[in-house]
Chains A and B, each alone.
Chain A
């Protein structure tokens, strides 16, 4: 690995560390129906969507983001790391086959990513719990209006940040 790569990893680590703190301490006051935006997930997705490269850093970015999510939450260490890391790899694979300038693609990808993340995390917790497992009750609890609220809230923040970023990039390029 090159020296630059390590610098990028350290910068990314610091970036996700700050996001984890902001998410856990600042944004918690802006909750809606008990949900608050998952800005680590949003930023991971945005970075995947907006960058052009397929380098090694982009592959481990999801794992790094998930790691800090694990640290700042009460999830068993590794839960968010693996889920977000795998999700990031899947997103990158999807993006290889589509044109990235489409806002509709971003919109759809975002919904898919949020839904998948929630499903993976909840399933991981369901699997790791020692209490009696019932798949029917799991799906019954998972597919509730609350899921829609979570996705919508994340989407709202995602769109805002996406638009701001696009405006910033356009201005910078001019």
Chain B
């Protein structure tokens, strides 16, 4: 009789064998031996499997990678635009803080505007607000640091043109700070300003500050050059304006004094 030809004998003998192995604790020893002998090959197979799986994942991920790349690009553009916006808000914030520091809001009704363009040849600038925001012609425009820029000469629905002080058609009464010497500030074009009708006897020095008289106290510029004419009862001074368009982004329109 062949032992292996009888399945019953195979089953019974195996059952007894495994019962003995499990109850006497030899199963654990057998497993330990198996793992001890197999460890080098298992380590090799594990690493090979990991590398193969990582390699194959690339093919399945290609479609996702392209999609992910497009998403990242779109997000990047969105974030860049957000960054630009934040920088603008930062500048706006700085201008507002300066105005607050100077307590401008206590003196005047202010409308914050932004320079959008500069017309160098015409001595004017364009701002981003107009009729829709309640602006009208002849309203004065100042910087956050209380420097006079000019006045609104043209108003559109959502834009306005500001005639700078240096415009040939611009003129306004002014005085020298702390000296009560009054005169007329006139524009000469190409960013030039003159202070005219100053009394000949008035003691004016270089770098004297020129401010407005109505409303009082808004800076215009400083005296850079004095000119005296023998035949005239008046003297003239050249003013360097404090306002420089390229150094400013935000301005305030004075709607009315409080």
Chain A residues with CB under 8 Å of B30's CB are 71, 77
Q: Is the interface of B mostly helix, strand, loop or mixed?
A: helix
Q: What's the tally of chain B residues with a CB closer than 8 Å to chain A?
A: 27
Q: Does A13 contact B (CB under 8 A)?
A: no
Chain A residues with CB under 8 Å of B52's CB are 26, 29
B2 touches A56 (CB 8 A): yes
A25 touches B46 (CB 8 A): yes
Among the 9-residue stretches B4-12, B91-99, B171-179, B238-246, the one with 4 or more Cβ atoms under 8 Å from chain A is B4-12
Flag A5-41 by CB within 8 Å of B: 1 or 0 each: 0000000000001000110111111100000000000
Cα A17 to Cα B38 with chains together (Å): 9
B49 touches A77 (CB 8 A): no
Q: For chain A residues 116-166, which have a beta carbon within 8 Å of chain B?
A: none
Chain B residues with CB under 8 Å of A71's CB are 30-31, 34
Q: For chain A residues 25-75, which have a beta carbon within 8 Å of chain B?
A: 25-30, 56, 59-60, 63, 71-72
Q: Does B73 contact A (CB under 8 A)?
A: no
Q: Is the interface of A mostly helix, strand, loop or mixed?
A: helix
Nearest A residue to B56 via CB reads A30
Q: Does A81 contact B (CB under 8 A)?
A: yes
Cα A63 to Cα B48 with chains together (Å): 29
Flag B7-23 by CB within 8 Å of A: 1 or 0 each: 10011001100110110
B4 touches A78 (CB 8 A): no
10 A-B residue pairings within 8 Å (CB atoms): A17-B38, A21-B42, A26-B46, A56-B5, A60-B10, A76-B27, A77-B30, A78-B14, A82-B18, A85-B11
Residues in A lying within 8 Å of B, measured CB to CB: 1, 17, 21-22, 24-30, 56, 59-60, 63, 71-72, 76-78, 81-82, 85-86, 89
